[in-house]
Amino acid sequence: MKRGWVVLRWLAALSSVPLVFSLVGASADEGRFVRVTAEDVNIRAGGSTETAVIGQAEYGESFHVLGTADGWYHVRIDATQTGWISAALVSETKRFGALQDEMETVEATASVVNVRGGASLLYEVVGQIQPGTSYPLLQRSGDWAQVRLPSERTGWVHTDYVRVAAAPTRDVAAAERARTGGEPPLASPASNSQNAPTATLRERTNLRSGPGLNHAVIRVGAAGHVYPILAQAGNWLQVALADGQRAWVANWLPTLSGSLATVPVQQTVLDSSLRGRTIVLDPGHGGVDVGAVGRRSGVFEKDLALSVSRQLYNKLQATGAHVVLTRPDDRFVSLADRVFLAESQRADVFLSLHFNTHHDPGLTGSMTFYYSPNGADRQLATVIQQELTATLGLPDLGARYGDYYVLRENSQTAVLVELGFLTNAGDEGVAQDLGRQERAAEGLFRALVRHLTP
């Protein structure tokens, strides 16, 4: 570590074994359930990213486990359908004794209820809710309940001022998407462009920011909506939205009208571009080691690092990469175990994610550390800073030498990224915003693609 820039964080000499998702054996297991811990998780026809996507699961949804195999859970979707979910995107729970067709929601009972960044009055108010709207309940902590707010943000409300009720899981998820991100109807093309190619959605469909499953969902289009087609890239189509924005949809999802012969071809699709590569993502800290603490909100570094890592995991999985998390949830993992995991997996890249602190509250920006002066890690650190600065928008504090254990003792290409300063009010706000977290993940994703593809 470089003195004056970061705070040295010594971890307790505890023992833990990192979790590698290699669930073997596919026997049915009655009474086991998993809860989704990421956003827009794909449900597939088989236990592999090679199989077709047959649906999507929302954050907080729970599924009955039918079996496990090679890092995937075989789950029951409804009374007649089953599917497979990556083990890295769910956690096992014993909360539900039977298949859940309902989820809990929260509605304000007071005229205005404050929503806070954590389960305590000590946390900053991040929003408010009023009666008349139900919000999905994600988890409880004492007298507090965590809810999902519009634009996929989350926050905590005191249970004295809300009413908890049950609602159908799928209906709540659909209503929430429609309220926060649903695409408004778009009129059919004007008469002077009736021959222009269009895409008509057959069902509710995710519209993404780019041509590939690794790109963020920016809207949810309703069945029957018609969109003019502007461009194509591989098996993806760029369409015009009602508000003038552009989005991408997989060409096998809508019904197509008109010829695509005149539609321009744009960029190369990144899906499958990292096939055969192994990437170990290391969310810093965890468990008893909370890391840095936000100066204003009290948010923990360990939680922010895990959130960004999960978003990056989703993007990388869609490119065919083999991705491993040193910790998939809030647990303590020793530094030695993190390095051992990278080496045992023969990782092409070990990427450790952190948030910084400094005695000067005015210091802002991101930086990436490497250990080898002239190695691949320094090259990767430089590329990360270029892409991260472009997508996240924080000042570029550069690629720097750092004598971190997870870099120094690691024989694989390894870098450590500090995504901002929790001692800076602006950086702290950026760190907690899910949209900005997604941009950070996007920058890291682009950097890894640049580094690992010819």
Q: Is 171 part of any domain?
A: yes
Do 350 and 218 belong to one domain? no
Q: In terms of pLDDT, which residue wins out, 141 or 421?
A: 421
Question: Residue 409's pLDDT is what?
Answer: 95
What's the total number of domains in the chain? 4
Q: Is 264 part of any domain?
A: no
Q: In terms of pLDDT, which residue wins out, 53 or 342?
A: 342
> Roughly what angle, to the nearest 10 degrees, separates helices 434-452 and 301-317?
50
Do 387 and 238 belong to one domain? no
The domain boundary residue, chosen from 43, 75, 93: 93
Question: Beta strands of 98-224 (E only): which ranges?
Answer: 102-108, 113-116, 125-129, 135-141, 144-148, 154-158, 162-168, 198-201, 205-208, 217-221
Q: DSSP characters for 71-119? A: TEEEEE-SSS-EEEEEGGGEEEE-S-SS--SEEEEEEESSS-EEEESSS
CA distance 265 to 199: 16
Question: Residue 173's pLDDT is what?
Answer: 39
pLDDT tens track for 7-33: 333 333 333 333 333 333 333 344 678
The domain boundary residue, chosen from 180, 213, 248: 180
Do 219 and 353 belong to one domain? no
Count of residues making up the chain? 454
Q: Is 407 part of any domain?
A: yes
CATH number of the domain where residue 411 is located: 3.40.630.40
pLDDT tens track for 225-244: 999 999 888 778 999 988 77
The distance from CA 407 to its chain's CA centroid, rounded to whole angstroms, is 25
Do 282 and 371 belong to one domain? yes
pLDDT tens track for 342-366: 999 999 999 999 999 999 999 999 9
Q: In terms of pLDDT, which residue wins out, 217 or 294?
A: 294
Do 223 and 355 belong to one domain? no
Do 419 and 293 belong to one domain? yes
What residue numbers bound the domain in which 89 lies? Answer: 33-93
CATH number of the domain where residue 133 is located: 2.30.30.40
Do 402 and 361 belong to one domain? yes
Do 303 and 406 belong to one domain? yes
Judged against a pLDDT cut of 50, whether residue 395 lies above it is answered with yes
Q: Is 41 part of any domain?
A: yes
Do 304 and 429 belong to one domain? yes
Do 76 and 136 belong to one domain? no
Q: Is 12 part of any domain?
A: no
The domain boundary residue, chosen from 131, 153, 180: 180
Do 347 and 313 belong to one domain? yes
pLDDT tens track for 418-437: 999 999 999 999 999 888 89
* Full-model pTM: 0.52
Q: Is 14 part of any domain?
A: no
Mean per-residue pLDDT of the chain: 79
Do 294 and 427 belong to one domain? yes
pLDDT tens track for 181-194: 454 544 443 333 55
